[in-house]
A and B are shown apart, each in its own frame.
Chain A
Amino acid sequence: MPATGPLFLARAVYRRRRLRDAARLLPMLGMLLLLIPALSQRSTAGDAIYLFTVWAGLIALAAFLAPGLSKADAETAPEGELAEMPPTGEDAEKTAINQTGGAG
């Protein structure tokens, strides 16, 4: 078994991984909470208020997680866990043009 990495991660990296765990669990949490009205017998108005509250909560949580996740995505990319994106066609073209310009 080759050594692939350190046993313990730095604090920041550790935080990022837990953030991803949270992101993965969020839809499960949502599913559970949204099941409750179907299993219980409440008034329509009560259900509606409950559902909209849960909904707003899920949106807020997602908004809270999103910036950290997208930053983590960008930061860990060079470490090899995530593939580097190939440049888009347009960018590549620009570089090509710059290069020809430079040659002239």
Chain B
Amino acid sequence: MQFNLLVLACLAYVILLFSVAFMVERRATRGRLGFLRSPIIYTLSLSIYCTAWTFYGAVGYAARSGIEFLTIYLGPTLVFVGWWLILRKLVRIGRQQRVTSIADLISSRFGKSNALGVVVTLIAVIAATPYIALQLQSLTLSFSVFAKGTPEAWLLPGHEDIALWVAAGLALFTILFGTRKLDAKEQHHGIVTAIAVEAVVKLVALVAVGVFVVWGLAGGVGPVIDKISAMQAPGWQLHHDRWIGLTVLAAAAVISLPRMFQVMVVENVDELHLARASWAFPLYLFAMSLFILPIAVVGLEHMPAEANPDMLVLTLPLAKGQGALAMLAFLGGFSSATSMVIVETIALATMISNNVVMPLWLRLKPGAAMSGDLRAGVLITRRLAIIGVLTLGFLYYRISGGSAALAAIGLIAFAGMAQFLPALLGGIFWRGASRKGALAGLLTGFAIWAYTLFLPSFGEGAVIPADVFADGLFGLSWLRPRALFGTVGMDPLVHSIFWSLSLNVLGFVLGSVLSFPDPVERVQGVAFVNAFDREAQAERLGWSHGQAEPEALLSLTQRILGEEALSFFEEQARAQGKDGYLPDLTPEFLAEAERRLSGSVGAATAHAMISQLFGHATVTVEDLMAVANETAQIREYSAKLEAKQEELTRTARQLREVNDKLTQLSVQKDAFLSQISHELRTPMTSIRAFSEILTEGEVPAEMVADSGRIIHSEAVRLTRLLDDLLDLTVLENGTVQLNLELAHLGQMLDRAAQSASQTRPERRFDIQRDQLSEEIYLLTDPDRLVQVFINLISNARKYCDADPAVLRIVVRQKSGRISVDFIDNGKGIPKESQRLIFEKFARLTDQMRAGGAGLGLAIVREIMANLGGTITYLPGQRGAAFRVTLPLRLEKRPEDAAT
């Protein structure tokens, strides 16, 4: 087996994953995910639980300790089979609160506490370090298995170099796919699908090796069972303490591992997928485990005693001359390790950026929420975090020497992550759980885990001096790392799990019982514990809004959510019964905005950002009444009243708007009449004057020519005005004839830009366009659409007061509609005028400068309505900005055909 071939296969495989992830991302942006959002993909992505530890380590584990390895898969089976108890609630809360990570969930539950977010993130990063090191170690080992005995072996880099290359490659892949954009829901469809592919590869590989071993080497199921019975290896007896301890540990880990939380809760697209996964995921684990024991037993029998049992999946087929099978097994192991590292580092990077860096940054620079591009900052933080996490993993691998059994390393990580469990479960099932309790429990559990398991894993005397192992900390014998409180003779792992988890729970309960939660905590507690109770969800934290304007909030949300912010604001404004993009700042709207933001940057950060705009959150009397459950009856009554009142408020708001508009329209109508008489009169006056001159006779020839020219141009102006008016009437009545044909958007924009260049040709005026996004064919009336574009571009040329003036044209495509934004860099349109610009004769500047009749935008609006689209003014874009939205294919409406 050539080593070069192996490297080539790896590269080809990685490229395949890249393309899968890339294609899915592209489909996702077009909103066509289809089966990619199915429960099968969800279940397969959960298989991220099976890492290289399972693929290589489980066989080694089985070879060393018999069937004890099954605990690691039976624990999760119990959790998933009992999904109705815990997972269902966890997923529901995750979706309701737009949770981005386990640190976010815990911090959000306990009053959006920054401190808790930081603690959870730190524990997660430290506990994940050995786990990532495990993956690097297994990849390095598997590479070196192939390298051994090849003629090029001497050319090959050393172990540490391989590990370094692997770590660098993984960092690159993760950065490329995990942090390309900041998603509003923190979901990565591309990666999830790539992981589903890897899940299939590793299952097929392990089963293939298993089938080869059972039927190819051992001669069938019967002989394998005989061989297992005949095995009399030392350490194969079941220890009931380890059996119970490890099952509990694995059950805890499957809930609280950051990467499991990521795929299970954060990436979940449909709660019902969990129902399918409740049995399909255990089935996957079952299939993965089925052949582990046979491979271990047959491997021990066929391989020399000094062979590393962790690598039996590879070495056994290799030794039997099955090169292709070994290659498949290698890719399986490669899949297991890479998928784990990718998702784990994404999960950790999200935690680091949302729970540590962003809050810190906002605290250091309180004005930061209002300036600067936050999205880029978040992304850079995440990229750096990915590199940092992988570096830590690599360092652990180097320091620990890469010699320990894989399973032993994995169990250390599991025990560390399990420390989240008390705070997590307590948080979602117990309203009395408080922030102080969670902090106390987490810190206690973490300290004991580090002291009894993590630090000793570097070796006696490496971090903790040897005499501490013998005599205890400060010479106190009850503080020995392997015999806390005099529990000598316990299995070290069980010892650590037992003491860390039980003291963790003790600290959590005591801290919660003795402390008094603040109002934010209590409101969040109700929302989490009663996640299935609709009424509890209706009660939310209120913001007292004072000075801030909706536009300030819009520009803040835009910096985080980007394009989605606008549609969110529009949707909220519509829910309030308002037009446009700026809803009233009601407490409900602010709470919803905060939750949207927290979907991207985490609850604590979002809370901090909003409070920078609006001051501190206020807990209203209603919120406190919601906390006190005794007032349920009053609440029900007042909820009804409230609903009615809300309806009335909405109606009143609509009426007020309509009334305002009507008043304005009536003023406009008067203005229109006087305008139109004025508009008609000015040219008429000059025509009359000059024609009088002409009729007097004996006029010099050049004066005749001059007068004639003026009369002609005034007549043209009149005609144009009348044409415009006529056009408007036709458009408004909907009796216009549309000539539908396929037209290229880019070419239409070209035409428009060219025609518009005659408006104020002396100006320096740049148009920024993205040719690629304009490669779209539309079924529409091209002449009419070009008319719209010309109007918008000439308006920008006329009114944009910046120098140099720049007009940005942005084209977007979304679910069968396209939107074209025209954004200039001028002063924009004042807020009070934004609603009027589309009305007839609504000219904002004085008439002489504009030179038109003020019908342009009114016509544009009517054209767009006829083309099945809309035109709106986009607020909060710094300059004047218009958005034209229209369908890709305009269908002829039947009622139009009838008229």
Contact = CB atoms under 8 A, between A and B. Distances in A.
Partners in one complex: yes
Contact of B67 (A44, A56, A81): A44
B293 A48 contact: yes
Contacts of A27: 78-79, 81-82, 85
Given A52-B286, A62-B279, A96 B571 contact: yes
A89 B236 contact: no
Contacts of A73: 271-272, 275
Contacts of B864: 104
Interface string A89-104: 1101111110111011
A5 interface: no
Interface string B270-286: 01100110111011001
Contact of B815 (A35, A55, A97): A97
Interface string A42-67: 01111111011001101111110011
Given A43-B229, A58-B282, A101 B85 contact: no
A31 B78 contact: yes
A45 B571 contact: no
B46 to A, nearest CB: 14
B286 A34 contact: no
Contact of A104 (B240, B564, B865): B865
B240 A70 contact: no
B66 interface: yes
B564 A94 contact: no
Contacts of B272: 70, 73-74
B568 A81 contact: no
A13 interface: no
Given A67-B275, A90-B31, A47 B67 contact: yes
A81 B206 CA distance: 44
B286 A56 contact: yes
Contacts of B275: 66-67, 69-70, 73
Given A44-B236, A83-B533, A89 B184 contact: yes
A15 to B, nearest CB: 15
A51 B67 contact: yes
A94 B31 CA distance: 10
A85 B280 CA distance: 25
A23 B596 CA distance: 33
Contact of B532 (A44, A52, A81): A81
Contacts of A45: 225-226, 228-229
Contacts of B532: 81-83
Contacts of B814: 93, 97
A96 B82 contact: no
B567 A62 contact: no
Contacts of A89: 184-185, 564, 568, 596
A62 B236 contact: no
B81 A51 contact: no
A67 B274 CA distance: 11
A56 B239 CA distance: 23
A58 B567 contact: no
B81 A83 contact: no
A50 B278 CA distance: 21
Contacts of B286: 52, 55-56, 59
Nearest to B73: A55
Interface string B571-588: 100100000000000000
B817 A97 contact: yes
B869 interface: yes
Given A24-B84, A70-B272, A104-B870, A83 B531 contact: yes
B82 A23 contact: yes
Given A62-B279, A73-B272, A55 B77 contact: yes
B629 interface: no
B279 A66 contact: yes
Given A47-B238, A83-B531, A104-B868, A92 B279 contact: no
Contacts of B225: 45, 49
Q: Is the interface of B mostly helix, strand, loop or mixed?
A: helix
B231 interface: yes
A6 interface: no
B74 interface: yes
Contacts of B271: 73, 85
A39 B240 contact: yes
A73 B91 CA distance: 14
A46 B633 CA distance: 59
Nearest to A81: B532
A55 B74 contact: yes
Contacts of A58: 77-78, 81, 282
Q: Which of A73, A74, A82, A88 has the most CB of B within 10 A?
A: A73
Nearest to A83: B534
Interface string B177-216: 0000000110000000000000000000000000000000
Nearest to A62: B279
Interface in B264-313: 271-272, 275-276, 278-280, 282-283, 286, 290, 293
A83 B537 contact: yes
A26 to B, nearest CB: 5
A81 B231 CA distance: 55
A44 B282 CA distance: 22
Interface string B875-893: 0000000000101000000
B80 interface: yes
A17 to B, nearest CB: 12
Interface in B214-244: 225-226, 228-229, 231, 236, 238-240, 243-244
A90 B568 CA distance: 10
Nearest to B185: A89
Contacts of A101: 817, 868-870, 887
Contact of A2 (B74, B570, B633): B633
A9 interface: no
Contact of A59 (B81, B226, B238, B276): B81
Given A24-B82, A96-B570, A37 B243 contact: yes
B282 A59 contact: yes
A39 B238 CA distance: 9
Contacts of B184: 89
Contacts of B83: 23
A36 B427 CA distance: 32
Interface in B526-561: 531-534, 536-537
Interface in B815-838: 815, 817
A94 B564 CA distance: 12
A61 to B, nearest CB: 7
Contacts of B568: 89, 92
A30 B81 contact: yes
B482 interface: no
Contact of B247 (A34, A56, A99): A34
A93 B217 CA distance: 59
Given A34-B74, A89-B184, A59 B534 contact: no
Contacts of B865: 104
A94 to B, nearest CB: 6
A80 B77 contact: no
Contacts of A26: 81-82
B522 interface: no
Contacts of A55: 74, 77, 282, 286
Contact of A103 (B84, B240, B534, B870): B870
A96 B872 CA distance: 14
Contacts of B531: 83
B808 to A, nearest CB: 22
B570 A44 contact: no
Contacts of A35: 243-244
Report, nearest first, the 6 A-B pairs whose CB atoms are least far apart: A27-B82, A70-B275, A62-B279, A38-B243, A38-B240, A63-B279
10 contacts: A27-B81, A37-B243, A44-B67, A45-B229, A49-B225, A58-B282, A69-B275, A82-B534, A83-B96, A92-B571
Given A23-B84, A58-B77, A92-B568, 14 more contacts: A30-B82, A52-B286, A55-B282, A59-B279, A62-B282, A67-B275, A82-B534, A83-B92, A90-B31, A93-B564, A96-B570, A97-B815, A104-B864, A104-B869
